[in-house]
């Protein structure tokens, strides 16, 4: 198991290097340098001042050197400075990250709570009308744009006093109840599409498990239907759901970017949207780098959890 984890950790290095290369060089594709964008048109600078500024912005060196320096800085936790406010980028992002992560986690929990029971129910009624109906509902769930769902929720429920609390965001530790109230509808808007995915995976996987010999054996030795389903089938049927959950965590996190805007929640998504509108590239670079890293790490953890749950994976590798 340890060997599996170490090997899997080693594959992270080239992937994260590649991600950093893409993030760094794509931003370099933008016409104009960060310095020119910072200066705009209003400031007249003497050549000496320009030289000074170029050094400050690190534009006095060839691009590969700049990349290496950027990498060094990132590893030290220095993601540069905002072009608009001049403040360091990382603290601003870190102060908004918890909200986005909480939103992601809540939507994940909601999706699993909705998706797994429906998937099991559907698999137990294979090829009945109820199964068919749930299949259609699942496809409908996949077709709903998150931001439209969010807008509908705002329209439908903000009339009810306190259903969607507006005003300042409060952290979970400060006021858990208010925090959950604030994030319930946003999480639902993000999670419903994923609930449909979970439902479909659970159903297919349960149906596959039902075909297995050991289920037949369990039935043959006279176990109750309930115990066959919940103790024998469910354990293995749920496995693929772990993978699909890990793989979709990034999708939920980027969904948070859009949904925060609709519900006016001050998370990382809103910060990055304003950064995009204002062409504040250091922030954009940092957000993309951080989210991609989180995504890759979540996938790693997913793989490890899966290997822990299913010995066949780590033995075959």
Partner 1 sequence: MNTMTRLVKNRIALAGLIIISLYVVIIVVSFFWLPFDPMEMNPELMLQKPSLSSGHIFGTDEFGRDILSRVMKGSAVSLMISILATLLGATFGILMGIWAGFLGGRWDNVIMRIADILFSFPSLLLAIFIMAILGENNANIIIAIGIVYIPQFARISRGAIIALKSNEFVRAARSNGAGSSYILFNHLLPNSIAPIIVQISLSLSVAILLESALSFLGLGIQPPEPSWGNMLSSARKVMMLAPWTAIYPGLAIVTLVLGFNLLGDGLRDILDPRLRNVR
* Residue 284 touches partner 1, criterion: CB under 8 A: yes
Buried b (16+ CB within 10 A) or exposed e, 246-256: bebbbbbbbbb
Instruction: Write down the H helix ranges in 125-160.
Output: 129-143, 146-157
CB nearer to partner 1: pick between 113 and 156: 156
Query: Which element (helix H / strand E) includes 205?
Result: helix 176-210
* Residue 171 touches partner 1, criterion: CB under 8 A: no
* Residue 296 touches partner 1, criterion: CB under 8 A: yes
Count of Cβ atoms closer than 10 Å to residue 257 Cβ? 20
* Residue 135 touches partner 1, criterion: CB under 8 A: yes
Residues 147, 153, 155, 159: is their CA dihedral positive or negative? negative
* Residue 306 touches partner 1, criterion: CB under 8 A: no
Identify which range of 75-83, 88-96, 153-161, 182-190 contacts partner 1 by CB under 8 A: 153-161
CB nearer to partner 1: pick between 5 and 15: 15
Q: Which residue has the tokens 């429906």?
A: 118
* Residue 158 touches partner 1, criterion: CB under 8 A: yes
* Residue 257 touches partner 1, criterion: CB under 8 A: yes
Q: Residue 146 Cβ, how far from partner 1 at the closest point, in Å? A: 8
81 — phi, psi (to 5°)?
Answer: -120, 145
Residue 124 near residue 204 (C-beta atoms within 8 A): no
User: x/- contact string, 2-21, with partner 1 (CB under 8 A)?
Assistant: ------------xxx-xx--
* Residue 212 touches partner 1, criterion: CB under 8 A: no
* Residue 129 touches partner 1, criterion: CB under 8 A: no
Q: What is the C-alpha separation between 163 and 159, in angstroms, rounded?
A: 8
CB nearer to partner 1: pick between 179 and 256: 256
Residue 265 near residue 219 (C-beta atoms within 8 A): no
CB nearer to partner 1: pick between 79 and 179: 79
* Residue 267 touches partner 1, criterion: CB under 8 A: no
One residue of 74, 114, 192, 291 binding partner 1 per CB under 8 A: 291
């Amino acid at each position: 198991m340890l060997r599996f984890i170490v090997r899997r950790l080693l594959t992270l290095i080239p992937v994260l290097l590649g991600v950093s290369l893409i993030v760094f060089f794509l931003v370099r594709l933008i016409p104009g340098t960060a310095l020119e964008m910072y200066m705009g048109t209003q400031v007249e600078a003497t050549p000496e001042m320009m030289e000074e500024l170029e050094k400050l912005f690190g534009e006095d060196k060839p691009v590969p050197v700049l990349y290496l320096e950027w990498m060094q800085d990132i590893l030290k936790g220095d993601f540069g400075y905002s072009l608009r406010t001049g403040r360091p980028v990382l603290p601003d992002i870190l102060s908004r990250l918890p909200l986005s992560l909480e939103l992601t986690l809540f939507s994940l929990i909601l999706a699993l709570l909705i998706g797994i029971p429906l998937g099991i129910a559907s698999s137990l009624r294979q090829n009945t009308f109820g199964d068919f109906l749930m299949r259609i509902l699942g496809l409908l769930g996949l077709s709903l744009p998150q931001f439209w769902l969010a807008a509908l929720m705002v329209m439908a429920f903000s009339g009810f006093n306190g259903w969607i609390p507006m005003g300042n965001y409060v952290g979970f530790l400060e006021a858990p109840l208010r925090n959950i109230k604030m994030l319930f509808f946003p999480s639902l808007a993000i999670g419903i599409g994923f609930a449909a995915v979970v439902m479909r995976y659970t159903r297919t996987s349960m149906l596959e498990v039902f075909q297995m010999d050991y289920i037949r054996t369990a039935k043959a030795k006279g176990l109750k239907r309930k115990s066959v389903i919940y103790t024998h089938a469910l354990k293995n049927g749920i496995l693929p759901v772990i993978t699909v959950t890990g793989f979709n965590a990034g999708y939920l996190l980027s969904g948070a970017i859009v949904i925060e805007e609709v519900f006016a929640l001050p998370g990382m998504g809103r910060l990055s949207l304003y950064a995009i509108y204002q062409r504040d590239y250091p922030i954009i670079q940092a957000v993309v780098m951080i989210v991609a890293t989180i995504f890759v790490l979540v996938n790693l953890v997913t793989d490890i959890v899966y290997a822990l749950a299913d010995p066949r994976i780590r033995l075959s590798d």
